[in-house]
Amino acid sequence: MSRSDYIKLPILFWKYSGEHLIAHALGFEYELMGDDPAKLKKMFSEYLKKKLDDPFFSVPDLEDPVLLNLEISHRPSLKENNAFFPSSEKIQLHIPLVYGMGEHGHYDCFLPTLDTSFQSYHKNQITLLGEHYIRDMFQSFTPAKAYSHLLHSEPYLDEIRIRTKAGFGFRKRKVDAGMPPSLINNAEKLPYTKSIRQKISTLTNQAWEQGDNINAVINKLVREKASVILCGDPGVGKSSILYEAIRDIDRRKTHRITFWKTTPRQIIAGARYLGDWQETLETFIEDLTSVRGILWLDDFISLVTTGGDGPESSMASYLLPFLKDGGFQVIGEMTPQELDVAKRLLPGFTEHFQVITIRELEKSGILKIFQLYDEYVSKTYDASIDPDALTLSYSLLRRFVTYEKFPGKAITFLSSLVDEALNNQKREINQEDVINAFIAKTGLPEIILRDDVMINERELNHYFESRIMGQSDAVKHITSIIKVFKSGINDPEKPIASMIFAGPTGVGKTASVKLLSEYFFGHGQKSNPLIRLDMSEFQHPDQIYRLIGTGGSKPGKMIQFVRERPFSILLLDEIEKANPLIFDALMTVFDEGFLVDSHGRVTDFRNTIIIMTTNLGGQSKRSPGFGNNTGQDYRGAIRKFFRPEFFNRIDRVVIFNALSQQHIDSITVKELDDLKKREGFESRRIKLEFSEKIVRYISNTGFDPNYGARPLQRAIEKYITSPIAKYLLKNRKLTNCTLKIDSGDDGNIHISKYNGR
């Protein structure tokens, strides 16, 4: 098999804590952990196979990759109040570097554990450049982060090979005769050929119902020879409009214009040395103008933040003279928030662009696009979408997918439906397919999504009351949120709900959050719908950036999680321990339903339920436990602690009661019933019976007035699970029987067996 018949992808392995393997395939942003290297390679292979038809996806193409182990001495330091406090000891870093000859004649070099790469034109400079990059990155690392990069074993290099499909041609760019290498190496030539467009999948880029905007772009580019920014919310069709305008200009064959698409970072990725990007960018511009090229820059806002230490020394600033001369044309897309940020960071830059505002279509235009897409699918794939399924798709997308606009979210969703149907050799998509796809996308239960299904209040109350003991008032609040959301009368411009859960420790606050997340968002999505953040980690002013980020390429924890899981419950544990600056950020979320970072990127919280837990009010002079503290104690303490403007933006304060002995008994029975269902018992067909005496013993032992039912799990593990485990180890062949667990007068646990079901 020749090199052109397969993709060969280097993959780096090393051990973690002497046990598990870590695998990092070059070009991938994430790592996998496991015990079997063959399984890890298979997982990467399966993902790579799915991406073969994506023209925007590429993998490193290294010839004879080599692994170097760079040894560097580093003294960690902590920066605080603009002062550095170096560690007394140095650490020896062993950082793996993988390099190989790339397809364009230079060496592509990767630092997998640092998630970065660079290029070298001379082999003897690879080690020097690698050490330079490593030292530069570690200067900004905290000691904890520096120590996290210590490897636990010697890494080794392997590879996976994937046979390419017939006609596959995206791994290497096809070099057009006479085109400058800097363009070929760092940009995609547009428009794509028909064969490439057909491999993009059912996600069409046709700009239906956008004729006026397409003509406006063509007029600005061809007649006025202007640079253009399309400004609009995500999903309004900016990319499709630009691409259709490019395709229209190319079809006319009268203007001899070429079009190229890339990102700011990709243009300067080939810079030989750090800080040498200006020369690379100037060469790129000269080559572009030599072929009458118009440049489409993706991730346009990064022009202002890429290159130098600030906007004044960024790529955007460097491009200003070329834009003023008028011989260099650029097109791009921005959201309104990103455009505002660009104007603020570098005043005058956007003045050299013609801004065309793209707004979301009216309902009639959106429904027309639904019909046109159905016709496109019928003609191209011999499949169809039932009209009722189209109507249902519009309704669900309009109500629930608020973080993106039409028609983008419709085309994306319908394309996923068609892909799934074609994979299953199905030619017609109906309402059931739409519901199932939406459950998988959002995790919302079918009873929420279907207007023809009503909630049974008795069943809903029982679902929560049977799992949350002794908290009838909390259950009323929780079920009320579900009923309001089901009715569609919640405020669509705010989070679904924002609440404070208050009460003693160990009474079910966190357990209630978990249960609500399972009911609300746990029916389809693969990721855990519960995002839990310990607010005691964000007590200092600087730590707000760890929570919400600084606007750079790596967002803060909360922003990252909500972007990944927009349909989720955000649990902010012990909210009172957070720095007050965080309360200000949360007020914006409560009011507007989203946060905008310093680069204009929007994070939408309107499909989240935000729950904050607190123990405020539980430290009164009254003794804790068994209902001494009242709801007024907690509400009063919460009102006193938070500023009125913060408190008044919270939808509900839910007070959890202290647990009575009866409640503890009920919780004990429930936990023991759950123990019976563990796989180790069910697989061996072993039933468990608990005497009243042992139940009462566990109930008394597992309850603490200061910690509620929290010690109950430990008591069950200590007094029930461990003795049974020892018993089963002594009786390895035991199966198909019942074990009766009792407590003797001597306080010891007694286990007796009798056969039969």
Cα 207 to Cα 372: distance, rounded to the nearest angstrom: 11
Cα 333 to Cα 87: distance, rounded to the nearest angstrom: 46
- What is the residue-averaged pLDDT of the chain? 87
pLDDT at 272: 58
pLDDT at 319: 95
Find the angle CA(639)-CA(645)-CA(650) to the nearest 5 degrees.
70
713 CB-near residues (< 8 Å, 6+ apart): 671, 702
Q: What is the pLDDT of residues 357-374, one digit of tens each?
A: 999 999 999 999 999 999
Cβ contact 475:515 at 8 Å: no
Summarize the confidence of residues 50-68 as an average pLDDT.
71
- The dihedral built from the CA positions of residue 197, 203, 209 and 212, taken in this order, carries a sign that is negative
Cβ contact 446:528 at 8 Å: no
Summarize the confidence of residues 491-519 as an average pLDDT.
95
Beta strands in 2-112 (DSSP E): 6-16, 20-25, 32-34, 63-74, 77-80, 83-86, 91-101, 107-111
Q: What is the pLDDT of residues 397-421, one digit of tens each?
A: 999 999 899 999 999 999 999 989 9
Q: What is the pLDDT of residues 424-456, one digit of tens each?
A: 999 999 999 999 999 999 999 999 999 999 999
- Would you say residue 339 has pLDDT above 60? yes
From 162-166, 393-397, 571-575, the region with the lowest mean pLDDT: 162-166
Choose among 686, 685, 718: nearest CA to 702. 718
pLDDT at 176: 55
Cα 578 to Cα 244: distance, rounded to the nearest angstrom: 49
Report the largest interatomic distance among the alpha carbons of the chain, rounded to a whole angstrom.
99
Q: What is the pLDDT of residues 280-291, one digit of tens each?
A: 899 999 999 999
- Would you say residue 256 has pLDDT above 50? yes
Q: What is the pLDDT of residues 630-660, one digit of tens each?
A: 678 899 999 999 999 999 999 999 999 998 8
pLDDT at 728: 93
More confident residue, 153 or 673: 673
pTM comes to 0.74
